[in-house]
Amino acid sequence: VQLLESGGGLVQPGGSLRLSCAASGFTFSSSAMSWVRQAPGKGLEWVSGIGGSGGSTYYAGSVKGRFTISRDNSKNTLSLEMNRLRVEDTAIYYCAKKRSTGDTCGFDIWGQGTLVTVSS
């Protein structure tokens, strides 16, 4: 069971970046997924989530209108398109799997994270 993020890097303010998360070892299409970020030396911040089918998406207020979450269940891949990036978006971005379907709270599988740095 594994999640592997990629796509991080250095980008200028106002720029764009696309993160990917490759899933393996579980039924990806049945699993709600999220992106969670952590600024250097700071706590965790939930960024965005998506249902198993991809039909429902959710965003934190800090990224709504700038970030777009999506998934390709045929490729077991989760994505996060980030536009109009700001310095304060600098963080390690983790993808995470909701532990089960239905009414529950907890992300049981996490990737190792990918670092996004927004700087001129």
Partner 1 sequence: EIVLTQSPATLSLSPGERATLSCRASQSVDNYLAWYQQKPGQAPRLLIYDASNRAAGIPARFSGSGSGTDFTLTISSLEPEDFAAYYCQQRTNSMYTFGQGTRLEIK
Query: Interface with partner 1 by CB under 8 A: which residues?
Result: 32, 34, 36, 43-46, 49, 51, 56, 58, 60-61, 94, 99, 103-108, 110-113
Taking the complex as a whole, how short is the minimal distance between the CB of residue 38 and partner 1, in angstroms? 9
Identity (one letter) of the amino acid at 78? L
Output 28 or 59, the one with its CB closest to partner 1: 59
d(CA 18, CA 1): 23
Residue with tokens 């379907």, as numbered in its chain? 101
Q: Are 8 and 112 in contact (CB under 8 A)?
A: no
CB of 28 to partner 1, least distance (A): 18
Residue whose CB is less far from partner 1, 29 or 51: 51
Q: Which two tokens stand for residue 110?
A: 């996490």
